[in-house]
Amino acid sequence: MSHVYKNYRTWSASVRWFHWINVLSVMALIFVGLIMLYKKELGITSLDAKIGLKELHVIIGYIFATNLFIRIIFAFIGPASARFSAFIPGKGFRQNLQRYRESLKSGKPQQFIGHNPLGKLAVTALFTLLIILAISGLIRAGTDIYYPPFGSTVASYIAEEGIDPATLMPYQKEGVNPERMASLKTFKSPFGKIHLYTAYLLMLLIVIHIAAVVRAEVKEGDRLISSMFSGNKVLTEKPQDE
Ligand code: HEM
């Protein structure tokens, strides 16, 4: 059967740059995060190494969080393919999802210039997890190693009277008020749990996301993967969102 191929402009440069910087920084954060989690099993026991790993994770975290922050600005003021409306499920979403799923079952999948309805759900879930990770991570960066943006506030809170907060060292008791340190521990603990469980959820979603993208590439033939590099999709059917 012969197909008529038509080229469409899809993801804007801002979306593609965000996507690949996000992929690289998230991979690096997961890698360092897993080393932090299994440091004992890996034979990493010194306090300096523990702090060094956290500092490395946080520095990569700044790249990740800045990229995410810029992406969110583009979701408000950027081109159509970058806007929230391009992925957050809106009016008529249930029916669209139903129609899309039926088209998958019938073996003649609907094609889209932007996200298909399942893709919209995936992107919304991914963004939610990324935002939770960025916020909880930035809070823990402040409470654990006194790094920006909250580190100086945390250090000022726990420093003993007459001690310069800037001289406090992570995991050192000198110059720290014990009661305030205890209440800081109570405060920071849930953020550590949220951060960890969200990271696990993200890892699961990344696996599903990659499997779904590969399936769409193979079954729907819309060159989804190369479109995230080139910004072009080549479709054989009339797109549903033209
Ligand atoms: C996709 C993004 C991220 C992923 C997948 C991720 C993953 C992880 C993992 C697996 C851990 C180990 C948890 C543990 O030791 O209990 C961790 C800890 C940590 N992360 Fe992230 N992280 C991300 C983003 C960030 C960001 C943006 C920051 C801050 C700039 C950050 C700061 C921290 C800190 C301070 C810890 C230590 C918390 C603790 O010891 O409980 N993370 N992260």
User: Domain holding 191: CATH number?
Assistant: 1.20.950.20
- ∠ CA 71-61-204, rounded to 5°: 80
Please report whether residue 121 resides in a domain: yes
Please give the pLDDT value at position 239: 93
Residue 93 belongs to some domain of the structure: no
Residue 190: Cβ-neighbour burial (10 angstroms; 0-12, 13-18, 19+): exposed
Within-domain flag for 76: yes
Does 33 reside within a domain?
yes
Q: Quote the CA–CA distance of 187 and 184 in Å, as a whole number.
A: 5
- Asked if residue 5 belongs to a domain, the reply is no
Higher pLDDT, 242 or 43: 43
Closest ligand 1 atom to residue 141 Cα is: 35
| pLDDT at residue 1 tops 60 | no
Query: Ligand 1: which residue has its CA nearest to atom 31?
Result: 137
Residues 33-44, mean pLDDT to the nearest whole number: 98
Give the contacts of 225 (CB within 8 A, at least 6 positions apart): 213, 214, 217
In this prediction, residue 3 has a pLDDT band, given cuts at 50, 70 and 90, of low
Ligand 1: which of 30, 195, 197, 206 to mutate, most ligand atoms within 8 Å of CB?
A: 195
Residue closest by Cα to atom 21 of ligand 1: 137
Number of domains within the chain: 1
| Structural domain that includes position 184 | 11-83+107-235
User: How far apart are the CA of 40 and the centre of ligand 1, in A?
Assistant: 17
Asked, for residue 17, whether it belongs to a domain, the answer is: yes
Is 95 a member of any domain? no
pTM for this predicted structure:
0.95
Name which of 131-140, 178-187, 222-231 the model is least confident about. Answer: 222-231
Q: Residue 32: inside a domain, yes or no?
A: yes
How far is the C-alpha of 210 from the C-alpha of 189, rounded, in Å?
A: 32
